[in-house]
């Protein structure tokens, strides 16, 4: 199991979501974030006060997937988020190991709790559940 953190431009979010849905990745969490990278600051005027903005508005997507979905999820995010041939500020993707996942509603654990249509679910067989 992996957790994918993707930070993209907010205006590219609809394209990324559409690309993910085409790959049958439909479960995600979206956060509004601010950050800086290689993009330089920009000068803005707000109510007559001029200031340099160095933290840019971005969107962070948190997506938990089973191993068989990692590559197609990453490719879908890149496809939806990239501007043309790619520009500074298009974003970053982080792929991290996910130790466990528990579905609160049913108590399912592991690959079954993540769900979807991955081949790991068929292999998992009986569902491990959290004892309450």
CATH architecture group of domain 2-99: 2-Layer Sandwich (3.30)
What is the predicted pLDDT for the residue at 123?
A: 57
Residue ranges per domain, the chain? Answer: 2-99, 100-132
pLDDT of 124 > 60? The answer is no
Q: What does the radius of gyration of the chain's CA atoms come to, in whole angstroms? A: 18
Q: What is the pLDDT of residues 14-53, one digit of tens each?
A: 999 999 999 999 899 999 998 887 776 677 777 888 877 7
């Amino acid at each position: 199991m992996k957790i994918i953190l993707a930070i993209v431009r907010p205006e590219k979010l609809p394209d990324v979501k559409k690309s993910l849905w085409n790959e049958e990745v439909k479960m995600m969490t979206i956060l509004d974030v601010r950050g800086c990278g290689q993009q330089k600051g920009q000068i803005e005027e707000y109510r007559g006060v001029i200031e340099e903005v160095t933290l840019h508005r971005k969107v962070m997507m948190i997506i938990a997937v089973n191993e068989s979905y990692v590559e197609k999820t990453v490719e879908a995010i890149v496809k939806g988020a990239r501007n043309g041939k790619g520009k500074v500020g298009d974003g970053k993707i982080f792929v991290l190991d996910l130790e466990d996942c528990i579905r609160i509603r049913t108590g399912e654990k592991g690959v079954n709790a993540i769900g979807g249509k991955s081949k790991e679910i068929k292999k998992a067989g009986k569902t491990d559940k959290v004892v309450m």
